Homo-oligomer: A and B are copies of this chain.
Amino acid sequence: MQMVCLPRLSRVAVCGGTHGNELSGVYLVRELLKVKKGVMEKEEEQEEEEPLSVLKVLSNPRAMQQCRRYVDTDLNRCFTHATLNGLTSGTVPYEMIRSRELNAMLGPKGRSGAVDLVCDLHNTTANMGLCLIAYSDCDWICLHIFRHLQRKMPDIPMRYIHFEVSNKESYSLDSVGKHGFAMEIGPQPHGVARSTVYTAMKAGVQHMLDWVCFFNSGTLFEGESVDVFTMIKHIDYPRDSETRNITAAVHPHLQDRDFCPLHPEDPLFQTFSGETLRYKGNEPLYPFFINECAYYEKGIALSLARKRRVLIPTIRVQTEQEQAAHVQELASEEEE
């Protein structure tokens, strides 16, 4: 099998509170900020190595303070190339200002100065277990981290979700890093901290940082195949044509069955008058983000994915010589 050598991951960012009412990440990052060093970073143990720098970031302090998803606009949609680099005039939404601050701190997005890996912590009201959500199905770092977490946390249902969006169009905070993903855990109501969800997220972050340390110190990670869920489309709630109010809820047979195949003619919604509405697609797909609270306003009752097996290659960190060559290569690319 193919072996891929990848650059060292020297700077990792762990971000919480990108949505101010998704509390596991808020409390976990606050806790990590208390633990100055040692416990999470294992710096002491590896004196011969360059220490791993872990930035802990509370992304949207104003929204956190109000325990709301956002103040003016969804911060986690503000990291497109256009939004980060466009001209602004008049009253600029708070989150647009904040996205530029974060891009200055962790990016610039798409440039060599960006952090190597962004792990952005989220919660969902959907019954999704732990998901890594990324824009790539061939980012071997993200996919190997995913496999490591799956192995280390066998009791937690875990999936890798892939949103097929170009780097320029990618909109979320994790897109600012050279590698990045959202770690999404549910079900948990927004504005609530459940101890089991917090503990799973803490373990997930710890295992992710452990993996980065293993990788940096030269561990070879064997290739294997991984299930990837690629987002195909969103489905909105049935709505009243005049008021735009929803007229149905997710059907009880579908509620909480994220990642169980949805077949044509399966129950999809139950109207508030009691009628069953069925899925009219022409192929079975995998639903996720079923009845996510924050997506009512976005017109998404659930998303549908196709499942594929992806072969990931064996990887190891580049040697110092390889790294030096790689840096030169990147620099000349940026000059162009």
Q: Which residues in A have some Cβ–Cβ distance to B below 8 Å?
A: 27-28, 30-31, 67, 125, 187, 189-196, 198-199, 245-246, 249-252, 255, 270, 272-273, 291, 293-294, 296-297
Specify which chain B residues have a CB less than 8 angstroms from the CB of A67 in the assembled complex.
296-297
Specify which chain B residues have a CB less than 8 angstroms from the CB of A296 in the assembled complex.
67, 191-192
- Sorted nearest first, the 8 A-B pairs with minimum C-beta distance are A189-B189, A195-B249, A191-B293, A193-B249, A125-B189, A31-B272, A195-B270, A195-B252
Cα-based distance from A189 to B197 in the complex (angstroms): 15
Specify which chain B residues have a CB less than 8 angstroms from the CB of A187 in the assembled complex.
189
* Interchain CB contact (< 8 A) of A191 among B27, B30, B190, B270: B190
What are 23 A-to-B residue pairs whose CB atoms are below 8 Å?
Answer: A27-B272, A31-B272, A31-B273, A125-B192, A189-B189, A189-B190, A189-B192, A190-B190, A190-B191, A191-B293, A191-B294, A192-B291, A193-B246, A193-B291, A194-B249, A194-B255, A195-B249, A195-B250, A195-B252, A195-B255, A195-B270, A196-B255, A198-B272
Specify which chain B residues have a CB less than 8 angstroms from the CB of A246 in the assembled complex.
27, 193
Min CB–CB distance A61 → chain B (angstroms): 12
Q: Are A251 and B195 in contact (CB under 8 A)?
A: yes
Complex: chain B residue closest to A243, CB-CB: B30
Cα-based distance from A259 to B129 in the complex (angstroms): 27
Specify which chain B residues have a CB less than 8 angstroms from the CB of A193 in the assembled complex.
246, 249, 291
Specify which chain B residues have a CB less than 8 angstroms from the CB of A27 in the assembled complex.
246, 249, 272
Specify which chain B residues have a CB less than 8 angstroms from the CB of A28 in the assembled complex.
272
Specify which chain B residues have a CB less than 8 angstroms from the CB of A251 in the assembled complex.
195
Min CB–CB distance A299 → chain B (angstroms): 14
Specify which chain B residues have a CB less than 8 angstroms from the CB of A291 in the assembled complex.
192-194
Q: Are A30 and B245 in contact (CB under 8 A)?
A: yes
Cα-based distance from A245 to B193 in the complex (angstroms): 12
Cα-based distance from A31 to B243 in the complex (angstroms): 13
Cα-based distance from A245 to B25 in the complex (angstroms): 14
Cα-based distance from A291 to B194 in the complex (angstroms): 8
Cα-based distance from A125 to B252 in the complex (angstroms): 18
Give me 17 other A-B pairs in contact (C-beta within 8 A), A190-B191, A193-B246 excluded: A67-B296, A187-B189, A189-B189, A189-B190, A189-B293, A192-B291, A192-B296, A194-B250, A194-B255, A195-B249, A195-B250, A195-B251, A195-B252, A195-B255, A195-B270, A198-B272, A199-B270
